[in-house]
Amino acid sequence: MAIRLTEEYLKSFVSSDEISALGPQVQKAHQDLHQKTGAGNDFLGWVDLPSKTPDALVAELTALAREVKGHSKAIISIGIGGSYLGIRSTIEFLGGEPSLPVYYAGHNMATSDMARILKVISDVDVTVVVISKSGTTTEPALAFRLIDEAMRRKYKGEELKKRIICVTDEKKGALRQIVSLEGYRSYVIPDDVGGRFSVLTPVGLVPLALAGVDIKAFVDGFRAGEKEFAVPDLAKNPCYRYAAIRNILHKKGKDIEMLASFYPNVQYVAEWWKQLYGESEGKNGKGIFPASTILSTDLHSMGQMMQDGKRNVFETFLMIDEVEDKIAVPHQAADTDKFNCVAGKDLDWVNKQAYKATADAHFEGGVPNMTLTLDRADAFHIGLLYYFFEKGVGISGYLLGVNPFDQPGVEAYKKKMFALLGKK
Ligand code: PA5
C-alpha cells in the first residue's frame, strides 16, 4: 500500500472497540460526503474531483509549461492560504530544483519580500500566475497591483499578455474583471471547491505544471486516493480510521494534534495541513488545534514539552519509507564521538531509529501517537496524501459536529483592517 497508518503507540489510549463503536457515525459522515447531504454540501466538489479532472487539462498545462519555459527564467506565484500553501508544499516536498524557480508573493505584506520579487522582475524574464478564488483578497490584490505595474513597465502588448496568467472564479470577483478588461489568460476555480481543498484545481495545477512537476502523476495520486479512501468500512480505510482516532483522542482531552516529521521537506505539507484542519474544524468553540514540528531539530526545542508538558496533545508522525539519497556514515579510526556503532549504516536508517525512539519515548511520556508512512516523496504520493487529509477532515469535521467547509472566522480581522484602511 502506498500510504500506511500504524497504531502501535495508541494502545491504552484508544481501543479497537472504541474505534468500531464509531462505525455508524463514520458511515453517516461517509454518506453525507458522497451523497452531499451534510453541512456545507455546496462545497463538496473536491470529493470526486480527481476522477473528474480531464486528462485534456493536464495535456494543456503541460504544453503551457513548455511555452513558458521558452520565454521565462522564473515564475512568480501570487496567492495566500489555499491559493498558496498547496503549491509551495508540493514543490518543497518534491525537493530538487523546479524546472523554473518559483517566487511566492501575496501571502504577506512585508516590504522586504516584495522588494525581492520586484528585483526578480527587473533582473530576469518572468511569468506571473495570480491566484485568488474570491478575486478580492487584500494580500494578493495588493501584491498583484505592484507586480502588474512592474510588469507593465518592462513588457508591452502581447509580450505582457503572454506573461500574466490569472486563476480565479468563472464569473465573480475583481480578478475576473481584470481578465475581461486586460485580456489576460485565465483558468477557472470550480465554484464548489473551497480554497483549502483546491490544490487539484488550476490553483495548484497551473503553477505546478510551470515549475515542471509531473502533474499527471500528481492527479493519479489523487485518483488513487479517491478510490482507496471511498471504502466505508473503518477496518479497511486508513483515512477514516485516522478521523475516528482523532475524534476519540479529542474526547479524552487531547486538544492538540502535533504533525511531526523527520523529513524537512514535509514542513510546508504541515503548513498546508494546518490550514486544512484549522479552518475546517476550528469553529463554534470546537476543534483540535493543529500544530507541527520538524524533527529531530525540534526535539531540541519542543522535545521537552512533548515529553513532559501538559498531557493534552497527541502526535501524528509523517514518515517516508524510501529516500532517494544514500549516504553512509564513515568509520573513524579514533572513534572519539563513539559513533563507530553506526559506521557503514545509511544516514536515513539512523534518522528512522530516531523516529522509533521518539515515538516510543513520547508514548511512555503520555503522548499517544500514530504514524502515516508514504512509500516515497514523489508527485503521486503527495497527491495521494492530500486526498487522504481532505477526506480525513471531511469525516472528522462531521464527527465533531461542525460544518468543515466554511470559514466564517477569517472575516473578522478583514472587517477591522478594511475599517483602518478606509476601504469601502
Ligand atoms: O480556505 C479558504 O477559503 C481561504 O483560506 C482562502 O484560501 C484564502 O483566504 C485565499 O482566498 P482567495 O483564493 O479567495 O484569495
Q: Is 204 in the pocket of ligand 1 (CB under 6 A)?
A: no
Mutation to probe ligand 1, out of 87, 133, 166, 280 (largest number of atoms < 8 A from CB): 133
Task: Kindly state the percentage of the chain with pLDDT values over 70.
Answer: 100
State the pLDDT confidence band at 27, using cuts at 50, 70 and 90.
Answer: very high
Tell me the residue type at 28. K
Mean per-residue pLDDT, 300-328? 97
Task: Kindly state the percentage of the chain with pLDDT values over 90.
Answer: 96
Mean per-residue pLDDT, 114-135? 97
**How many degrees, rounded to 5, is the angle at CA 386 between CA 4 and CA 131?**
170
Which atom of ligand 1 is least distant from the CA of 168?
A: 13
Residue in 101, 82, 105 with CA at minimum distance from that of residue 92: 101
Q: Is 279 in the pocket of ligand 1 (CB under 6 A)?
A: yes
Neighbours of 130 (CB within 10 A): 28
C-alpha of residue 195 to centroid of ligand 1, in Å = 5
Tell me the residue type at 326. K
For residue 196, the 8-state DSSP code is G
Please, which residues bridge with residue 258 across strands?
Answer: 291, 315
pLDDT for res 242:
98
Q: Is 214 in the pocket of ligand 1 (CB under 6 A)?
A: no
Higher pLDDT, 147 or 97: 147
Quickly name the fold that domain 49-213 has.
Rossmann fold (3.40.50)
Please enumerate in sequence order all residues whose Cβ is within 8 A of that of 416, keeping only pairs 6 or more positions apart, or say none. Answer: none
Mean per-residue pLDDT, 146-166? 97
For residue 152, the 8-state DSSP code is H
Domains 3-38+220-400 and 49-213 share a fold: yes
pLDDT for res 379:
98
Looking at the predicted structure, is the pLDDT value of residue 280 above 90? yes
C-alpha of residue 345 to centroid of ligand 1, in Å = 45
Distances (CA, A) of 7 to 13, 20, 77, 241, 269: 11, 14, 39, 10, 21
Looking at the predicted structure, is the pLDDT value of residue 81 above 90? yes
Residue-by-residue DSSP string for 252-313: TT--EEEEEES-GGGHHHHHHHHHHHHHHH--TT--PEEEEEETTGGGGTTHHHHHHS-S-E
Mean per-residue pLDDT, 221-243? 97
pLDDT for res 1:
59
Cα 65 from Cα 57, distance rounded (Å): 12
Mean per-residue pLDDT, 61-66? 98
Q: Is 196 in the pocket of ligand 1 (CB under 6 A)?
A: yes
Cα 241 from Cα 245, distance rounded (Å): 6
Q: Is 397 in the pocket of ligand 1 (CB under 6 A)?
A: no
pLDDT for res 397:
98
Residues 76/127, Cβ–Cβ less than 8 Å: yes
Mean per-residue pLDDT, 241-269? 98
Q: Could you give phi then psi for residue 294, rounded to 5 degrees? A: -115, 120
Mean per-residue pLDDT, 397-413? 94
Determine which residue's CA is closest to atom 8 belonging to ligand 1. Answer: 81
Secondary element (H or E) of residue 391: helix 379-400
Domain ranges of the chain: 3-38+220-400, 49-213
Residues 377/265, Cβ–Cβ less than 8 Å: yes
Biggest alpha carbon–alpha carbon distance for the chain = 73
C-alpha of residue 17 to centroid of ligand 1, in Å = 39
Mean per-residue pLDDT, 173-180? 95
Q: Beta strands 289-294 and 256-261: pairing type?
A: parallel
Class of domain 3-38+220-400: alpha beta
Q: Is 135 helix (H, G, I), strand (E, B) or coil?
A: coil
pLDDT for res 411:
85
Mean per-residue pLDDT, 44-55? 98
pTM for the model stands at: 0.97
Would you please indicate which residues are annotated as catalytic (active-site) residues?
279, 300, 414
Cα 57 from Cα 33, distance rounded (Å): 26
Mean per-residue pLDDT, 92-121? 96
Determine which residue's CA is closest to atom 9 belonging to ligand 1. Answer: 81
State the pLDDT confidence band at 87, using cuts at 50, 70 and 90.
Answer: very high
Cα 311 from Cα 69, distance rounded (Å): 51
Question: pLDDT by residue (tens digit) across 8-22?
Answer: 999 999 999 999 999
Residue in 276, 265, 393, 373 with CA at minimum distance from that of residue 317: 373
Mean per-residue pLDDT, 220-234? 97
Cα 351 from Cα 356, distance rounded (Å): 9
